[in-house]
Structure 1
Amino acid sequence: MPLNLVKIMNKTKNTLTLFIQRFLLLVVIYQLIRVGFYLYNQSFFPEISSNVFIGGLIFDLSVLGYINILFAVFHLIPGKFQTNKMYQNSLFISFFLVNGIFICLNFIDYEYFRFVGRRSSFSMITAEGMTNEIGGLIASYFVDYWKIPLFITLTFIIFWLGLKQIKYRNVKTSSNFVSTTSLLFTVILLFTAGRGIDRKPLRIVDASEYGPIGTSALVLNTPFTVMKTLSKKNNLKEVHFFDDKQAERIFNPIQSFSYENSNKKNVVLLILESFGRENIQRGQTSFLDSLIQKSYFFENGFANGKLSIDAVPSTLSSVPSLMNKSFISSCYAVNNVYGLPKILKDNGYNTSFFHGAFNGSQNFDQYADVAGFDRYYGKNEYKGPESFDGKWGVFDEDFLQFFAKELTTFKQPFFTTLFTISSHAPFTIPEKYKGKFPKGSTEIHESIAYADYALKRFFESAEKKPWFNNTIFVITSDHTSSTGEEPKYKNNVGKFRIPIMFFVPCDETMIATNEKNFQQIDILPSLVDYLQLNTKLVSYGKSYKSNQDFVVNYLDNIYNLEMGDYYLAFDGTKTIGLYNWKKDPLLKENIIEKEPETKEKMERFIKAYIQSFNHRVSKNQLTVR
C-alpha cells in the first residue's frame, strides 16, 4: 500500500471516515474478485466491454449497501462508547467476519459457473437435494479445485491487512447532531445503493443491460444472486403480451394424438451425465459413436437446462427449465403433470426410475413419485458387487448391469428411466480402470470414456435379454459438461448442445440423421407419436415427425430460441440479439437490423411461449382438463 495512503488512513479520524474507508476497501476487493473471475473463465467471455465493469460496480454497491447498513449504524450511532477500545475491536472483527463470508461466496462460482453458465442461487449454496452427497463432495472439491481455497485465503489476508491499515482504535466522535445527521444520510445512501435508483429495485435480470449477451455472470456477484433467491417463492409472474386466443394461435401446448393401432414397444430412457455434444465423436465415446450410426440421431440436439435436475422434468414431462430456480426444487414441483410415466401407465406399461446415487439425491425420488413412476431404484435398492464411488453412489458399470437384470424381471411392456452418475464431478472411476481409458484434454474426458464403456457393457447384456428386440432406447445427456475446448460450445447456443438419439433394434426406418432442432422436451411427444398412443396432453415440445423446428431454453435471465438456422436472445421484454447460428456459430454478427421479419416472427413466438408457460405453471395447469 503506498506510504501516503497509509498515512492518510492512519490519521485519527471520526467514525464516518472510518466507515467510508472500510466500505471503499470492500468495493475495491469486489472489483478485484470480478477481474479474477474474468481471468479464470476468460474463454467463456470472448467479448466484453467497459460497461460490464460499470454494471459490476452497481451490483457490488447494491449488495454491499444491504450487507453493511447495520455496520453503518454501529459505526455512526452517537455515544461515548465509540471511543471504547473493546467496542472498536469487536466492530473490527465482526465487520471482517461478516463481509468475509460474503466475499467467500464469490469464489464458489469461479468453478461452478463453468458447469451451469450463471451465478449461484440460494438453493445451490445450500446444496438443496444433495444432503447425503455434500460431505464427500466438499472434501473432494477442495482437493480437485485447490486453487479456489487458495484464492479465498489470499483474499482474506489482503482484506485483513487492508483493514489493519485503517487505524480504528483512536477514533474521535462528533457532536450528537453531526453524528445523527451522518448516520441518517449514510443509511439512506446505502439503502439507495442496495435498492438501485430505477423505478423498480435492482434485479438479477438487469445485469443483461450492461454488456454483450452471455456476460451477465461477469456483471453480477454471487452474494447478490444468493440474496435475491433467498425466498422460497419463485416469483414466476404471468405476462400478457397477447390476449389469450391470439397467444394460443401462435403457440398452443395442448397436443392430441390419435391412431388406429398402437406400437407398444418397451421404452428405455437413458440420461447420461454431462455427455455434452462436444464430447461425442472425438475419441472418448467409441461405443456411442458406433451406436449413432445405427440410430435415429438428432444432429442438432439441445438440452432445456444446465443442471441435472432440469433434465428430469424436461425429458419425462416435457416441461422446460424457464425459471431461475429448477422446476424440481421449486414450489411448482408438486404440480399435476401428465408425463411419460402416467401416459404409459395408462397404456398398460410397468414404470420405474433408476439412479445410482444416494436415495433422495437431487430430489429425483420425490419427482419420480409426482411424475407417476411405480418404483424408484437408488443406491439403497442396488444389489451387486461392492461398488461405491466414495462420493455419489454406485459406479455406472455395476449399476447398469443391475439395471439390465432388473428389467428382465419386469412385465412387458415396461417404461424405465436410468440416470448415470460416474461422469459427474469429481469424475471418479474404479481403480481397476485407471489408465485404461484415454485421458483426453480436460478432467471430465476419462470419466466420459468410462461411462461410455459402462454403456457398452449394458448393451452387451441387454441384447441377450428377451425384451431387447421389442424396445426403443432413447439416449440423451442431462446437460453439457463444464469445460469445452471449442469456442462454439461456450456461447448461449453451444452451452446447450447435447446428443439425442433413438435406437430401435429391428426397425430400419429409425436409422437416419435428423438435421432439425430437437430438444429434451421433444422426447415425450416423439415417443407418444412413435408408439402410436391415443392421448391428449400438455407439451412444450413437439414430435420428431412435426414440421416445427424450434428449441427453447433459458440461461442467466435470457430466453434462448433456436428456430431453423436462427438464434434469438430475448430478455423477457425485448430482443437483444439475432444470429444465424449455423453460419455464424461463434455469434459474432448481430443481425437484428438486417432481418427484421425474422426477428418479428421469432419474438412473437417466444412471447407466446413464455406467456403460456408462466400461466400454466403458476396456475397448475400442466394437464388437459
Structure 2
Amino acid sequence: MREKFNLGPLRPILVFCVIALIIMMISRLGLGLWQADRVTAAGGWSDLLIQGLRVDIATLCWLWGVAALGTAIFSGPHLIGRLWQVILRSWLTIGLWLIVFLEASTPAFIEEYGIRPNRLYVEYLIYPKEVLSMLWAGRPIEVIFSLLLTIVTLWFGWRLSGTLFKKITYPRVFWRPVIALMVIIVTFAGARSTLGHRPLNPAMVAFSTDPLVNSLVINSSYSLFFAINQMGSEADAAKIYGKMDKQDIIDLVRADSGRPLSDFTSKEFPSRTFNEASYKGKPKNLVIILEESLGAQFVGNLGGLPLTPNLDKLSKQGWSFNDLYATGTRSVRGIEAVTTGFTPTPARSVVKLGKSQTNFFTIADLLAKKGYTTQFIYGGESYFDNMRSFFLGNGFQDIVDETDYDSPTFVGSWGVSDEDLMRKANSEFERLHQEGKPFASLVFSSSNHDPFEFPDGRIKLYEQPKQTRNNAAKYADFAIGEFFKLAKKSDYWKDTVFLIVADHDSRVSGANLVPISRFRIPGVILGEGIAPKQDNRVVSQIDLAPTLLSLMGISATYPMLGQDLTQVSDDWPGRALMQYDKNMAYMRGNDVVILQPEHEPRGFEYDPANQSLTPEAQSQNMKQTALAWALWGSLAYQQGYFNVTAPKADPLTEERLNNEGKNQH
C-alpha cells in the first residue's frame, strides 16, 4: 500500500494559524473602519487588506514556524512526544493570547499615541505600580475587560489545543525529514515575505504619509516585536536613515549650530565650544519648571483652549516663545533636550541608555562644578523612567520625590499633586537662599497625566466629568500660578532665572509623517531683568539650556549645539528637530525635511495657520543637513562626544575649562 504524507501533528498549528489570521484581519478591518476617513484619504484600503494579509502570514511564520519544525521532529506517542505536546499546547495558547490581547489593546494605544503598539508599550511595562494604578484609576472597565479576556483566551486556547491533539496519527520516520524540510521552506519564505535583499519590515509596506494608516497595515504583534528587536541596535541611526561620513556629519552640524567654525577647538569632542554669557552680572540661580504634557493646544495665548490663564499672564511678563517645539513625545525626551541639550534620535532617550548613566554632560553637572546646589524635585517616585539613576549619575546632587513630602494635600496615581510639588519647591528655594547657596533645580510636574487626578475645589472645571485631560491641564496651570505668587514675594526671586516649559504635547498624533503642530509647546523665561518679549522664531528645546546659561551669567565650555538665543538676531528663521517614532523632521523656518526608514528624504513646507504640510522641493544642502542632525545623536553617544571628561591633548580647551568661571561664585 502506498504511504502518504501524514500531517496530523501539524493540524493543531494550522487551526491556530487560521484562527489568529481571522482575528488579525477582523481587527485590522475594524480599525480601518474606525479611521475610515484617514484610510480613504490615503487611498489605502487595498494596501490595508492585501499587504496586511502578507504581514499577518509573516507574523504567524515567526510565531509558530519553529513550533511546527519541532513538531515535525519530536511529535509521537512516546515520552519525548508527550513532553513536546505540553510545550506545543502552551506555545499555541500563549501565542493566541498575545495576538488577541495586543489587538484588543490597540484602540486605546492609538488614542494615546496615534499609532499601533510600539516600544512605548514595553517601556511602560517595567513600571507596573505606576501603570497599574494609572489604568485602574483611569480605565477600570478596560482593566477588568483585559483580565477577563486573558482568562477566556487562555482557557479557550488550552481546551482547543487539547481537543485538536486527540486521536492524532503520526507520520512514519522516513517522512519526517521531508515534512521538516517543507516546514523550513514555508516558514522561511513566509517570514521573509520577499525575494529582495532585505526581509519584510514595516517600511516595506508603508505607502502613505499618514503614520497611523501605515501602522494599520501591520498587526500589533508584529509592530511590537519589530520595535523590541530594533531596540537592540537602536543606537545606530545610520541603519535607519542611511550613512554619512563622520566628518561630514560633524561639519554640517557645526555649520548649522550658528557658531564660527573657529570656536570648535577640540578634535576629541567635536561639538565643544566656549560660550560667552550675555549677562555679565553676578551669576543667578536657575529654576526649570517642566510641565507634563502641556502642548500648545491647551495654552490660550498660543491659540489653544482657554485653560491657562496664569501661564497666559506670565507670558506677557517674560520672554515668551510662540513657536517652540519639543524634540519628542516622551517625558524623558524632553528631559534629555532641556537638561543636556542632546539632539533626538530614533533610540531611547539618553536618560535610559547605558553609556550615559555617568560622565554624561548635563547643565546640572556644569553648574555643580561651579558651586551650585543642584536638585531634581518631583511629586512621584523618581526611579520612574530611570530618572533618579541618570540624574544622580550626572550632576544632580539632591533628589526630592514622593517620599519627602509631609502630609501632602493630595496624592494620586503619579504621586503628590502639582500644588504640593510647587509648595515644596518654593520651600527648598527659600532654604537654599537663606543658606547662601546658589541653586539650580529641575521641577517636574505630573498631575496633567492620565488618569488626571487632582484636588477638588481648586479650579472651575472646563468640562464634565472632572477627570479629563483639559481639566488636568487647567489644574496644572493653577499650580503654576500659585508657585509664582510665592516666588515673586520671596527673597530668591531677584537672583533667579525661571523657565516654564512643557516636556511634550499630549496625544501626539496626526495624518502627517510628523504631526508638527503636536510638537509645539509653551515656553516662558521669567525673572528680574528679563525683558518682556514675544519671540516668533522657530525654537527647539535644545536651544533652551544654552540660552538659560547665558541669561544666568554662566560662561562655559560645553558640547551642546543649541543656540544661545540671546545672541541670535531676531530675523533668524530658527530651526527645530522633532523625532516621531522612527521618523524625524528638520524644520528651518517653515521649510521641512522629513526622514523615514529606508526612504529618501522628503521636502515639505509647513503652514502654521492651517497646521498642514505641503510637499515642496528642498535643497540638497538642507536634506544633507537634516540627515547630519539625525545621525549626530547616535554618533555623539557612541563616540562619547558628550562625556564630561576633559580632552587630554587639547590645550586651548583645557585652559578654558580651567579658567572659565573665574569671578563666578
TM-score, normalised by the number of residues in structure 1: 0.85
User: Alpha-carbon deviations, 1:233-266, whole Å to 9, x = none?
Assistant: 4442274844444333321243431258355222
Match of 1:66 among 62, 69, 74: 62
Residue range with higher mean Cα deviation, 257-266 or 534-543: 257-266
* Residue matched to 1:127: 124
Give aligned-pair identity as a percent: 17
1:473–1:110: structure 2 CA closer, same or farther, 3 Å change rule? same
Asked whether the equivalents of residues 269 and 475 of structure 1 are also in contact (C-alpha less than 8 Å), the reply is yes
| Aligned residue number for residue 217 of structure 2 | 219
SS at match of 1:615: helix
1:58 Cα deviation after fit:
3.7
Aligned letter for 1:459?
A: F
Segments of structure 1 that go 5 or more residues without pairing to the other structure are: 1-11
> In 2, Cα distance between the equivalents of 1:73 and 1:370?
48
From 405, 418, 431, the counterpart of 2:443: 418
> 2:540 is aligned with what amino acid?
Q
Counterpart for residue 582 of structure 1 = 607
1:438 matched to which residue of 2? 462
Residue of structure 2 in register with 1:96 after alignment: 93
Assess if the C-alpha contact under 8 Å between 1:208 and 1:571 holds in 2: no
Partner of 2:293: 274
Q: Which moved more, 1:603-612 or 1:168-177?
A: 168-177
Report the AA paired with residue 534 of structure 1. Answer: S
C-alpha change, 1:21 and 1:268, in structure 2 (3 Å) is: same
Deviations 1:530-564 (A, max 9, x none): 23422121114222243462111222211211111
User: What's the counterpart of residue 6 of structure 1?
Assistant: none
The reply on whether 1:310 has 2:333 as its aligned counterpart is: yes
Q: Tell me if 1:247 matches 2:242.
A: no
- Which residue is equivalent to 2:539? 518
Out of 159, 184, 189, which is 2:186 matched to? Answer: 189
Superposed, 1:117-156 pairs within 5 Å as 117-121=114-118, 124-125=121-122, 127=124, 130-143=127-140, 145=142, 149=146, 152=149, 156=153
Cα distance in 1 for residues equivalent to 2:512 and 2:209? 17
Task: Check whether the contact 2:11–2:164 (CA below 8 A) recurs between aligned residues.
Answer: no
Instruction: Select 2:26's aligned residue among 26, 32, 35.
Output: 32
- In structure 2, the CA distance between the partners of 1:436 and 1:161, relative to structure 1 (3 Å rule), is farther
Which residue identity does 2:521 align to in structure 1?
I
Distance 1:238 1:321, change over 3 A: closer
Two-structure CA RMSD over aligned residues (Å): 3.7
Residue 385 of structure 1: CA displacement? 3.5
* Greater CA drift, 258-267 or 421-430: 258-267
Deviation at 1:568, TM superposition (A): 1.6
1:397 to 2:419 alignment: yes
| Deviation, structure 1 residue 309 | 1.7
Q: Report the counterpart of residue 475 of structure 2 in structure 1.
A: 450
Partner secondary structure for residue 429 of structure 1: coil
Over 3 Å counting, the alpha-carbon distance change for 1:155 and 1:250 in structure 2 is farther
Cα deviation for residue 37 of structure 1 reads: 3.8
Alpha-carbon contact 1:422-1:447 (below 8 Å) kept: yes
- Matched AA of 2:562: G
Q: Which amino acid aligns with 1:382?
A: Y
Deviates more, 1:88-97 or 1:187-196: 88-97
Number of the residue aligned with 1:289:
312
- The residue matched to 1:463 in structure 2 has which SS? helix
Aligned to 1:20: 14
Check whether the contact 2:285–2:552 (CA below 8 A) recurs between aligned residues: no
Structure 2 CA distance for aligned equivalents of residues 584 and 31 of structure 1: 39
Q: Summarize the alignment of residues 341-352 of structure 1 with structure 2, pairs less than 5 Å apart.
A: 341-352=364-375
Alignment of 1:340-489 (within 5 A): 340-389=363-412, 391-410=413-432, 411-433=436-458, 436-439=460-463, 443-482=468-507
* 1:507 alignment partner, SS class: coil
CA contact (8 A) 2:293 2:504 kept: yes
TM-score when scaled to structure 2? 0.80
Q: Which amino acid aligns with 1:538?
A: P
Q: Distance in 2 between matches of 1:444 and 1:335?
A: 36
Distance 1:336 1:403 in 2: 27
8 A contact 1:276–1:498 mirrored in 2? yes
Greater mean deviation of Cα atoms: 299-308 or 51-60: 51-60
- Displacement of 1:481: 0.8
CA contact (8 A) 1:273 1:479 kept: yes
For residues 122 and 246 of structure 1, what CA distance do their matches in structure 2 show? 31
Structure 2 counterpart of 1:550: 575
Supply the distance in 2 between the matched residues of 1:396 and 1:518 (Cα, whole angstroms): 27
How many equivalent residue pairs?
602
Give secondary structure in 1 for the equivalent of 2:274: strand
Shift of 1:268: 1.0
Q: Any gaps of 5 or more consecutive residues in structure 2?
A: 1-5, 255-270, 648-665
Distance 1:337 1:221 in 2: 38
